[in-house]
Amino acid sequence: MLRTRFTEIFGVTHPIVQGGMQWVGRAELAAAVSDAGGLGIITALTQPTPEDLFAEIRRAQELTDKPLGVNLTILPTINPPPYDEYRRAIAEAGITIVETAGQNPEPHIPFFHDHGIKVLHKCTSVRHAVKAEKVGVDGVSIDGFECAGHPGEDDIPGLVLIPAATRRLTIPVIASGGIADERGLVAALALGADGVNMGTRFMSVQESFIHADVKQRIVDATERETELIFRPLRNTARVARNEVSTKVVEMLDEGAQFPEIKDLVAGTRGRTVYETGDLDAGVWSVGMVQGLIEDVPTARELIERMVAGAEQIIQQRLGGFVTA
């Protein structure tokens, strides 16, 4: 058994978190991860209304009695979602852990803490993690440059970012980006983290909502087959390399602005990829770690072999390097 500050404070059996992923973080996946001893996370804004989110949480709770989390991504938009209503739905459903991401979580923390909910905030830099601790979050998930989605603009990989963060923080730190197996889990713990967060790896388990052809593409792809889009716009995102993402990169490099590419990168097109398996229907998030993924197990099989493998590495392989 691997016990860390994260497992103790957040009440989770294993120090493994399923990242909150738009269109992917649904009841079946989150429940399967939590039931296997990790922390499964339902993505709030995948659900079109707070009422739908409440119903999705209830579906997951029918599948497991283990702790579940909800991701609430706070985005700068012209017409922001009704965050107060989403918060109430989370609390009324009895959720005890929320993963926040995007903008400063400070306005949301008092409500969550008043309802006994711990806050795990996703960051891409040490300075933002330090600020998150100061405003009262209970833990941070630190995303290295390898991650899918938005890696920030500093381009600091996990091997540097994780220890740079853990030496500055006193709250639990979850390492995210580039982790797919027991080797990544042990490495993260060695760098000072209290657990790991995996997105791409949990996209490619049997309980994941996405189409089998997308999962197979993740298995077949190498670590070199991603694109960084939106770089000239200072809103970098790592996505799968396909016809659409390659075109977006070319257009932006030639001076195009967001209005010229917005139809290509629409979120509904990425959802179509996940639902239909048409890999070129739109842009879709995936991390460099796809190059380490070789199968599509159940969530339980993945978590159990990661924990067992990590214990073996720590006790046997690493222990063998130490001499009297």
Looking at residue 78, what is its pLDDT?
67
Distance CA 213, CA 184 (A): 26
4-27 confidence digits (pLDDT tens): 999 999 999 999 999 999 999 999
Distance CA 265, CA 239 (A): 11
The tokens describing 228, both together, are: 């960084």
Q: Are strands 226-229 and 237-240 parallel, antiparallel or unpaired?
A: antiparallel
User: 268-283 burial string, b = 16+ CB within 10 Å, else e?
Assistant: ebbbbbbeebebebbb
Provide, rounded to the nearest whole percent, the portion of the chain with pLDDT above 70: 100
Looking at residue 75, what is its pLDDT?
82
Looking at residue 143, what is its pLDDT?
97
Q: Answer yes or no: is pLDDT of 211 > 90.
A: yes
Looking at residue 104, what is its pLDDT?
93
User: Which string of DSSP letters, residue by residue, matches 226-254?
Assistant: EEEESGGGT--EEEE-SHHHHHHHHHHHT
Q: For the full predicted model, state whether its pTM sits above 0.85.
A: yes
Q: Are 179 and 208 in contact (CB under 8 A)?
A: no
Q: What is the dihedral of CA 302, 220, 242, 30, to 10 degrees?
A: -10
Looking at residue 79, what is its pLDDT?
78
Q: What is the mean pLDDT of residues 51-57?
A: 98
Number of other residues whose CB lies within 10 A of the CB of residue 152? 18
90-106 confidence digits (pLDDT tens): 999 999 999 999 999 99
pLDDT-based confidence at 161, cuts 50/70/90? Answer: very high
- Write out the H or E segment, with its range, that includes residue 216: helix 212-220
Q: Is 126 helix (H, G, I), strand (E, B) or coil?
A: helix
Q: Answer yes or no: is pLDDT of 235 > 80.
A: yes
Looking at residue 76, what is its pLDDT?
73
109-155 confidence digits (pLDDT tens): 999 999 999 999 999 999 999 999 999 999 999 999 999 999 999 99
DSSP-assigned beta bridge partners for residue 240:
226
35-47 confidence digits (pLDDT tens): 999 999 999 999 9
300-321 confidence digits (pLDDT tens): 999 999 999 999 999 999 988 9
Distance CA 233, CA 241 (A): 19
Q: Answer yes or no: is pLDDT of 258 > 80.
A: yes
Looking at residue 245, what is its pLDDT?
98
pLDDT-based confidence at 322, cuts 50/70/90? Answer: confident
Q: What is the mean pLDDT of residues 284-308?
A: 98
Q: Answer yes or no: is pLDDT of 77 > 80.
A: no
Amino acid at the residue 72: L
Largest CA distance in the chain: 65
Query: For residue 214, which of 300, 280, 151, 263 has the smallest C-alpha distance?
Result: 280
**Mean pLDDT, the chain, whole residue set:** 96
Looking at residue 1, what is its pLDDT?
85
Q: Are 41 and 69 in contact (CB under 8 A)?
A: yes
Q: Answer yes or no: is pLDDT of 246 > 80.
A: yes
CA 98 to chain centre: 12
